Amino acid sequence: MDGTRVGQRQTAQRRAILKVIRDARGPLTVEHIHKQAMRGTRNLGIATVYRTVKLLLQSRQVKPITLPDGETRYEPTDLGHHCYFYCRGCGQVYDLNLCAVSIPDGTVLPGGYRVDGHDLTLHGTCPKCPRAAKKR
């Protein structure tokens, strides 16, 4: 994931954006990408993040994820199948390195529905969330 597959030059800003997406523990919104990339890069505008994400989508280096909160987030395409955990306390989304549903592709459900994939988001509170600490 070097960012040069779409014929664009590699800049410090693009490298920072790619690093943020690659190092994230879950899919990120453009705003989260911007905020995290700003920590190591000066003068990074939100428009640059939007343009870079668009280039990464076109080159299939990232994919969009739309979770039940309705906000589009982005993650690398090479993560393989996994599920997500959405923290109701802080709003953070985490990748889970497992799938909680064992329905293989090709399964035919009652009524003739043929499965060719699935997405699953579990909801609750993360261990870092103050709401989770109050319940312990």
Contacts of 132 (CB under 8 A, 6+ apart): 87, 89, 125, 126
Domain-wise residue ranges, the chain:
12-77, 80-135
Place of tokens 């312990």: 136
User: Where does 12-77 sit in CATH, by number?
Assistant: 1.10.10.10
pLDDT tens digits for range 84-125? 898 888 888 888 888 878 888 889 999 999 988 888 888 899
pLDDT tens digits for range 10-21? 788 888 998 999
Fold (CATH) for 80-135: Dna Ligase; domain 1 (3.30.1490)
3 state DSSP class of 123: strand
What is the pTM (predicted TM-score) of this model? 0.75
